[in-house]
Amino acid sequence: MDEKVSQLIELALMEDIGPGDVTSQYFVPEEREGQAFLVARSEGVVSGTEIGAEVFHRVDPKCKVRVLRSDGLKVAPGVQILEVSGKARSLLTAERVAINFVQRLSGVATRTALFVEAVKGTGVTIMDTRKTTPGWRLLEKEAVVAGGGCNHRMGLYDRAMVKDNHLLVKGAVEDLRNSIHSMKKELPNVAVELEADTLDQVKGFLGIAEVDYVLLDNMDNNTMRKAVAMRGERRRPILEASGGVSLETVRGIAETGVDCISVGELTHSAGALDLALEFVPFSEGE
């Protein structure tokens, strides 16, 4: 497991358990065994099962966890996602943190799946952005993939994305070509993306051979169609649409002919999938 994710799990457990789970300690017999199922209460797409399982194992390595619905699968209300068994105290202590991870990540996957379905048949790829919960980026981006989307850059290190602010800081747009060439010489595997607000910028950027992506920022659909036409039959650079994207608008944007659409909403506004941990009733005499 990724070290940062491991640390995130530890932090989540520390903030919830603190010096100890007083309810389980005083109200649940130490020797009592339990069995429970993580169950969906609403329709959606599952993500985060590995993290949920790990939470139970961190609380008690003797807990047994079985994944019944793996990441990326759709679930309906009542469908069981995880089966857990072990000391009842351990299961109850891990319950909330495990649910928190799985419900949040499943919410991201579910929201992504809605956007993917909305553009079905257009050939357009739905991508995420860096608008993620601090510390959760890797998990949320994995959830986007579980929902059928693709990842944009992971951070500032794996794609150069030149926006208006960068051009203003540099102060000379004409130096752009030289800057790209210098970066590509030293970092040949790092993609370059340029943000365009106007068709004039698109025209200029299309003339730079080393540009990998052109971001069509907050353009209306008619303007994006013109940008696609300007590129012609070439498949490079890749044209990405961004800004003003919602479930209501995404289909129209996709039909302009762009290659991909980045949607911040996938991560910054996704709700949680409604989940619950349902325990099997204890037998008489336990």
Catalytic (active-site) positions? 96, 131, 163, 195, 217
What's the rounded Cα separation, in Å, for the pair 159 and 185? 14
Strand positions, DSSP E, 119-176: 125-127, 159-162
Distant-in-sequence, close-in-space partners of 34: CB < 8 Å, separation ≥ 6: 85, 86, 87, 88, 91, 92, 279, 280, 282
Distance of alpha carbon 185 from alpha carbon 34, whole angstroms: 60
End-to-end CA distance of the chain: 37
Q: Is 149:261 a contact under the CB 8 Å cutoff? A: no
Asked if 266 and 101 count as a contact pair (C-beta separation under 8 A), the reply is no
Q: Are the C-beta atoms of residues 131 and 73 closer than 8 Å to each other?
A: no
